[in-house]
Structure 1
Amino acid sequence: MWFKNIKAYQLTQPLSLDDDDLQNALSEFTFRPCGSQDLNTMGFVPPLSAAGESTMMFHQVQQRYWITLKKQEKILPAAVINAELEEKVAQIEAETGSTVNKKAQSDLKQEIVTRLLPQAFTKNSYTHGFISLPDKMVVIDSSSDGKAEAFMAMIRKAISSLPVVPLSRRSLQGELTHWLTDGAPDNIELLEEAELKSTDDLESVIRCKNQPLDSEEIKLHLDSGKQVQKLGFAWQESLTAVIAEDGSFKRVKFTDRVKEETDDIPKDQVMARLDAEFALMSGELCQFLDYIRTTLKLNDDQ
């Protein structure tokens, strides 16, 4: 259990979670598969379900609550629907000699979707996240704002309230550019990856990978006024990632030093291994995100 992308949020008000109440609340929104006419369904599943017949709708370590949201959606390609619609419209026009208007085509399309839905394949996806009460944070494994918002919306439905704001409520391009021009803060090592964007109307973008960021080429782009939008970095000896100007993190990779701490747990002890991995990962992430929050003075924006 290692998150690969991070959308982080700060709790704006104290939040208390009782284990029994949380279990009951999440169970009210347990995942159910799509019915014959459902385009998609969404609900909570036990995070440790991969380890066996777990019925707990969350997993808790040191008041960090791991919650998993499952989404199932029908796969109904637009090309298939449009092909059937085109064929049906052509048939009607040939039989009646009249053009099928847009309203009639819309009704025909809905009829086709209704007929095909029960036969459609389904696709499952999972969004993992955790609420850390001691750190006053919500951390979601997602690169998509939409998926992160859907995750939090479902939790709000279950527990009635989840008062949060994004980890950063402002663009960080100024700070990230400063890291590149004047040096990164302590414990941050810049890697050879960045994305720079001009501030003029052209909004030209330069992306570089495996490129020394202190090279003359990069300096010329910075001197021309481009600002850093994304920046690859390593933090201590714990993880590497790419930070974006909106305060999100992509391609998070934990180092062998961290992952090796679970090597003594036999692979067949799946639940114990998942528990240990979550404890390690969530602890490292909370420490890292608090470092970012403090270093960039993000609490000052509250």
Structure 2
Amino acid sequence: MPRFKNVISFRIEPAWAPDFDAAQQQLEKERFVPCGATQESSAGWVEPRGQAEGPLLESVGGQWLLEYMVESKTLPASVVRRKLDERCAQIEQQTGRQPGKKEKKQLKEDITQELLPMAFTRHARIAVWIDPTARRLTLDTSNQARADGVVTALVKALDGFGVSAFHTQVEPGSAMAGWLATQEPPAGFSIDRDCELKATDDSKAVVRYAKHPLDIEEVREHIAQGKRPTRLALTWEDRVSFELTEGMQLRKLQFLEGVFDGAGSDAQAKDEGFDTDAAIVTGELGQLLPALLEALGGEMEPGMAAAVPASPAAPQAESQTAAPAAKAATPTAATVAAADDDGPPF
């Protein structure tokens, strides 16, 4: 069970009725199949425990666990370009003319198909956690394109499944500015030593602090001048550290000392280690995510406006209209996330 270095989370729509056995059967139709010789990419569901031909859906303490596999082939652009130049030179030598734009495009596609069987293969595995009680979908990735692909795959596989973005009553950027200006983070959270501030005017000036105290006048002055925090390092209950971003993302997620003490220590009980890790990860994040939403004023009801403080020190705030959350097969959402390889999408 991956320990979720990265997290993107969505609210599951109320129309979906969880049915474990039905979901297991529906996922089987979308089991992962490796790329064919000339296929550029392939994606599908794999066994979360890593057991060949095992179940695609596991339940630990009532929490559903899945894993999505993406396989892609990579061709070095320089190799394709060199082959294309050689092919164009041959045509010019044989016919006395240079290939046009349309012909070059077709030649490039032909060369790509020829080289794909020899291409490098990359794999990305995305752990997926469905909390059917709290109605929350959580993904172990920071890549929004990958997250959207997983959501689309779930919508395709599970009858009636849909998700919506989390929208909070206070915008994360405004909340972080207030916490930095007052040095008063919400209960259970503490401010760490990393931060990024960005100007909202045309200058787009950026100031970054790394491993640096943030309770200094210089930080407050930047905020007073109109710079907004785009990310801020926080720790929750001395158990989980992360960076919160203006998009309501969690980055650089780390479970701190003591959280996993004794977990997975029995090498002869791989299944028990999976279950233990799953229980700890879902237990910790199952408390952190609601606490974070509460720190941002709670979730908005449809039609409500997100609070935008007039100044960081004055949370009484003006407001601006925010669109209500809507069901989406491929959502573009404010998300709860953390950093992974930020690799290319599918």
Report the TM-score when normalising by structure 2: 0.83
Instruction: Check if 1:300 corresponds to 2:300.
Output: yes
Q: Secondary structure at the match of 2:300?
A: helix
Residue of structure 2 in register with 1:132 after alignment = 131
Residue of structure 1 in register with 2:246 after alignment = 245
Q: 1:53 to 1:33 in 2, by over 3 A?
A: closer
Residue of structure 2 in register with 1:151 after alignment = 150
Q: Distance in 1 between matches of 2:212 and 2:98?
A: 59
Residue of structure 2 in register with 1:160 after alignment = 159
> How far apart are 1:15 and its partner, in Å?
3.2
Counterpart AA for 1:101: G
* Paired residues of 1:177 and 1:227 also in contact (CA < 8 A): yes
Q: Secondary structure at the match of 1:230?
A: strand
Q: Distance in 2 between matches of 1:292 and 1:221?
A: 25
> How far apart are 1:185 and its partner, in Å?
0.6
Q: 1:31 to 1:54 in 2, by over 3 A?
A: closer
Q: Secondary structure at the match of 2:65?
A: strand
Residue of structure 1 in register with 2:36 after alignment = 35
* Paired residues of 2:48 and 2:56 also in contact (CA < 8 A): yes
Greater helix share, 1 or 2?
1
Q: Distance in 1 between matches of 2:267 and 2:197?
A: 43
> How far apart are 1:219 and its partner, in Å?
2.2
Per-residue CA shift, 1:145-195, capped at 9, x if unaligned? 111111111111100333222223684210111111121011100001101
Q: Secondary structure at the match of 1:300?
A: coil
Instruction: Check if 1:176 corresponds to 2:188.
Output: no
Q: Distance in 1 between matches of 2:42 and 2:175?
A: 41
Q: Secondary structure at the match of 1:38?
A: coil
Q: Distance in 2 between matches of 1:95 and 1:34?
A: 36
Q: Gaps spanning 5+ residues in structure 2: where?
A: 303-346
Aligned-residue identity in percent: 26
Q: Secondary structure at the match of 2:266?
A: coil
> How far apart are 1:17 and its partner, in Å?
2.3
Residue of structure 2 in register with 1:283 after alignment = 283
Counterpart AA for 1:278: A
Q: Distance in 1 between matches of 2:108 and 2:241?
A: 48
Let me know the Cα RMSD of the aligned residues: 1.6
Residue of structure 2 in register with 1:8 after alignment = 9
Per-residue CA shift, 1:78-133, capped at 9, x if unaligned? 21111100111012112211121001111111111111112223111111111101
Q: How does 1:157-236 map to 2 (within 5 A)?
A: 157-168=156-167, 171-182=171-182, 183-236=184-237
Q: Secondary structure at the match of 1:202?
A: coil
> How far apart are 1:211 and its partner, in Å?
1.1
Residue of structure 2 in register with 1:96 after alignment = 95
Off by >6 Å, runs of 4+ in structure 1: none
Counterpart AA for 2:19: D
Q: Secondary structure at the match of 2:202?
A: coil
Q: Distance in 1 between matches of 2:181 and 2:161?
A: 38
* Paired residues of 2:13 and 2:162 also in contact (CA < 8 A): yes
Instruction: Check if 1:78 corresponds to 2:109.
Output: no
* Paired residues of 1:196 and 1:205 also in contact (CA < 8 A): yes
Q: Gaps spanning 5+ residues in structure 1: where?
A: none
* Paired residues of 2:15 and 2:161 also in contact (CA < 8 A): no
